[in-house]
Amino acid sequence: MKTCALLLALLPGIAAAQFALHDGDRVVFYGDSITDQRLYTFYTEAFVRTRFPKLKVSFVHSGWGGDRVTGGGGGDVDTRLTRDVFAYHPTVVTSMLAMNDAGYRPFDQGLFDTYSKGYQHIVDRLKTEAPGVRITLILPSPYDDVTRKPNFEGGYNSVLLKYGDYLKDLAARSGATVADFNGPEVAMLEKAKATNAELSQKLIPDRVHPGDAGHLTMAESLLKSWNAPSIVSSVEIDGGKVGALDGAKISDLSSGAAGLSWTETESALPFPLDLNNPGIKLVTDSSDFISALDQENLKVTGLTGKYNLIIDGKTAGAFSAENLSVGVNLATLDTPMKAQASRVVSLVREREEAHNQMWRTYMTGWQFGNEKAAESQKRDVMKALDRYADALEVELRKEALPVSHKYQLVPVSG
């Protein structure tokens, strides 16, 4: 045991958990209206695209408002699974259902029995129809009984927690991964309420569907369940010497009276958070999103005084030597890397919208007067949208590739 422990200490990579997605994976997000919002799913995809720019993974967003384990407006559950999951030959499926199943009332044993039987059916079909599929069961996101009073004793979220307990057991029996969307979201809401009670109510405005900011914590929970890394890059420079590097390469380092300069190429991009958005800022201040998932660290020691950090000719910030010796998280600054990540994220959204239009408007919803013409036109439009989505896929992969940047630390006089 001592020898094994020593080996793991010497080779930390052996002990580190690997990210759950692999080259060639096809991820399908399945669920009800909260998944249909395409927000936690979008953030999750955006993270993967920026953190692993060379990873060849595809994503399909298959949420449908009103869904239960038995199905809903998009058809019964077997129709939904066949058309909206298995048709894409997934290697990874995430599923979140319960908000509608529990009936928005105190715990009802009959509803729970339907839920447990129905979810078992979903998992059984996934394992039968998609052999080898890796399943992530998502504990249902909360009904907001935090920023407003519960509607009945104990509150609806306590009911959802019981459904989540069942999912933990189902996951253990079926070999699925579990992502908790409830506990961390509730903890975030509690902190947000203590900071800004009025704004905290806007994070889940109707108590069911989180807004953009509210989905961040949920995406974090899913990514954590997949062992997502916290580090974008980590760079240490001691005076005129390169120190420890993680996820970055440095060349042309020079130092002198004019400060420091170097060329840096990172292997990933930061997650481009809009910290000027009050809701996003409240969520990040009330959670560990940045520390857990968005660390682009620069540490420079051996300096005195104050410096402007300039990247590609643009000032990113002014820092004291003490700040730099502790370390600066570049992911929280406006940098060329963040601007590139924002372009990638915009392409992710555009590609996702193209697929959603093809799936929801044309594949399942568009009606024509002439039935034969309808099928012909639908096929033509769907093929065109697919081609458009494929072109965007190529463009976003190209946009996400690392590029080199010129860094300068220039002394500030006075």
Q: pLDDT of 140-150, one tens digit each?
A: 999 999 999 99
**In whole angstroms, what separates CA 121 from the centre of its chain?**
27
Query: Residue written as tokens 């720019």?
Result: 53
Whether 81 contacts 16, CB under 8 Å: no
Both 153 and 184 in one domain: the answer is yes
Both 192 and 54 in one domain: the answer is yes
Structure confidence at residue 371 (pLDDT): 54
Q: Is 380 helix (H, G, I), strand (E, B) or coil?
A: helix
Both 251 and 175 in one domain: the answer is no
35-56: burial string, b at 16+ Cβ within 10 Å, e else: bbbbbbbbbbbbbbbbbbbebe
| Gap between the Cα atoms of 266 and 53, Å rounded | 11
Residue 238 belongs to domain spanning = 230-414
Given a cut of 70, the residues of the chain with pLDDT beneath it are 1-16, 363-376, 414
Both 192 and 265 in one domain: the answer is no
Q: DSSP string spanning 135-180? A: EEEEEPPPP--SSS--SSTT-HHHHHHHHHHHHHHHHHHHT-EEEE
Structure confidence at residue 16 (pLDDT): 53
CA angle 9, 14, 18 (to 5 degrees): 135
Whether 336 contacts 402, CB under 8 Å: no
Beta bridge partners of 261: 254, 408
Look up the pTM and report it.
0.92
Q: Give, as one character, the DSSP assignment of residue 197.
A: H
| Gap between the Cα atoms of 344 and 340, Å rounded | 6
Taking phi over 0 as left and psi of -120 to 50 as alpha, with beta for the rest, 68 belongs to beta
Both 174 and 313 in one domain: the answer is no
Structure confidence at residue 385 (pLDDT): 76
Whether 220 contacts 289, CB under 8 Å: yes
Structure confidence at residue 257 (pLDDT): 86
Both 205 and 79 in one domain: the answer is yes
Kindly tell me the burial class for residue 173, based on how many C-beta atoms sit within 10 Å of its own C-beta (0-12, 13-18, 19 or more): exposed
Neighbours of 374 (CB within 10 A): 14
| Gap between the Cα atoms of 40 and 48, Å rounded | 12
Considering 225, 252, 275, which residue would you say is the last residue of a domain? Answer: 225
CATH number at residue 74: 3.40.50.1110
Both 250 and 371 in one domain: the answer is yes
Structure confidence at residue 356 (pLDDT): 87
Both 98 and 247 in one domain: the answer is no
Considering 197, 225, 253, which residue would you say is the last residue of a domain? Answer: 225
| Gap between the Cα atoms of 61 and 57, Å rounded | 13
> 67: which 2 tokens?
């869904």
Q: Give, as one character, the DSSP assignment of residue 68.
A: B
Both 272 and 212 in one domain: the answer is no
Structure confidence at residue 414 (pLDDT): 64
Neighbours of 407 (CB within 10 A): 24
| Gap between the Cα atoms of 182 and 395, Å rounded | 35
Number of compact structural domains in the chain: 2
Structure confidence at residue 136 (pLDDT): 98
Length of the chain: 414
Amino acid at 93: V
Both 389 and 242 in one domain: the answer is yes
Both 16 and 47 in one domain: the answer is yes
- What is the Cα gyration radius of the chain? 24
Structure confidence at residue 9 (pLDDT): 40
What is the sign, positive or negative, of the torsion defined by CA atoms of 118, 121, 123, 126? Answer: negative
Considering 171, 195, 225, which residue would you say is the last residue of a domain? Answer: 225
Both 244 and 197 in one domain: the answer is no
